[in-house]
Amino acid sequence: MPYVNVGKENSTDIELYYEDHGAGDAVVLIHGYPLSGASWEKQIPVLLATGHRVVTYDRRGFGKSSQPTAGYNYDTFAEDLHKLVTHLKLRDFALVGFSMGGGEVARYLGKYGSKGVSKAVFISSVPPFLLKTPDNPEGVDGAVFDGIQKAIVADRYAFFTEFFKNFYNTDLLLAKRVSEQAVQASWNLAAGASATASLACVPTWHEDFREDLKRVDVPTLVIHGDADRIVPITASGQRTAKLIKGTRLFVLKDGPHCITWTHADEVNRELVEFLGKGIAKHAAATTRTEAVA
């Protein structure tokens, strides 16, 4: 299985598991909490079919990646992403982040700039700043995050059961847009994540990305459900769209947090339209190269 080394913890290598499929314009898909790159299964076939090279990876502490006890902050997450991009020698690639993954997109562009990045997509994402403060009254009260951490410490498995109810809005969408089995599969992924990562990632949800977003200078798409109970659209998606000039905001009516699953057709349609037909661009570039030769 393919891995990239991103550091060490004592005598142990820290490695990220990744998958790299297809050809054409590259798209890097960055998953949300507490899942893995496998959670993009409804997007990957569509992007491959439209001619894109699709790269997914598991954030440290999740999926098949190493489970260190350190490095759970967005500077490190962005650095991990940068090491993967460098390892794969990606050029002209799009960054697509879901939920926590939107933080990587923001911090990567804030820290490393947009060289090599063609487009950015934020889906149900945590930027710009979720924590309620005097200069951020639209945010979420800090007690909410404290409560989540206490619940994880008490019994993270029980926490995940409750978490996924709001992740998918199962009271409204179960057996309509998401099955019990799909919810269980998400729980299984979460249960396999590092206990350390499961807890340490919670404070990162209210990282302040406002300065990072000021540096975003590539075409940007924001997709968010207006019934998101995990990352409310008023505290996140709507504000991100306002902070990045020229951003397209697509709001999914009655969409929960995990619209990549419950509203996959709508999300995929927007993604493909925004990213373009990778195969057409790739074919045109090949034709031009052959003509010159």
Active site residues: 99, 228, 257
- Sign of the C-alpha dihedral, residues 69, 74, 76, 78? positive
Say how far apart CA 205 and CA 125 lie, in whole Å. Answer: 9
Helices (H), ranges, the chain: 44-49, 74-88, 101-112, 142-168, 170-173, 180-191, 195-200, 210-214, 237-243, 259-262, 264-275, 278-292
Contact 160, 202 (CB under 8 A): no
Three-class SS state of 274: helix
Three-class SS state of 111: helix
Sheet holding 117-123, edge to edge: 3-9, 12-21, 53-57, 26-30, 93-98, 117-123, 220-225, 248-252
Length, in residues, of the chain: 293
Q: Which residues pair with 55 in a beta bridge?
A: 20, 28
Pairing mode, if any, of strands 53-57 and 26-30?
parallel
Say how far apart CA 87 and CA 104 lie, in whole Å. Answer: 17
